[in-house]
Structure 1
Amino acid sequence: MSSSTSATASLKEVKDKVTELSPEIIYSASMWTPEQAAEMQAVARKVKPEIKTHAIPQGLQVLEGLDAIVAHLTKALPMLL
Structure 2
Amino acid sequence: MPSHTRPPIRLVSVNTVPDRAKKVIGAVIDNVKDKYDIIHVGNSATIEGVKPLLESTQPPPDILFCASMWTPEEQDEIQKIAKETIPGIKTNGTPTGLHTQVGPDGIVRYLVERIDDILAQK
Deviation (angstroms), 1:55: 0.2
Distance in 1, Cα, partners of 2:41 & 2:73: 23
Q: Percent identity among equivalent residues?
A: 35
Distance in 2, Cα, partners of 1:34 & 1:42: 12
Secondary structure at the aligned position of 1:53 is classed as strand
Contact 1:15–1:44, Cα closer than 8 Å, also in 2:
yes
Equivalent position to 1:66, from 101, 104, 113: 104
Any stretches of 5+ residues in structure 2 without a counterpart?
1-6, 9-38
**Deviation above 2 Å: which 4+ runs of structure 1?**
1-5
Deviation (angstroms), 1:17: 0.9
Contact 1:4–1:23, Cα closer than 8 Å, also in 2:
no
Distance in 2, Cα, partners of 1:49 & 1:18: 11
**Structure having the larger proportion of residues in strand:** 2
Any stretches of 5+ residues in structure 1 without a counterpart?
none
Q: TM-score, normalised by structure 1?
A: 0.92
Deviation (angstroms), 1:41: 0.7
Partner of 1:15: 51
Q: Which amino acid aligns with 2:101?
A: L
**Structure having the larger proportion of residues in helix:** 1
Q: TM-score, normalised by structure 2?
A: 0.63
Aligned length: 81
Deviation (angstroms), 1:20: 1.3
Deviation (angstroms), 1:5: 3.3
Give matches, 1:2-81, under 5 Å. 2=8, 3-21=39-57, 22-81=60-119
Secondary structure at the aligned position of 1:12 is classed as coil
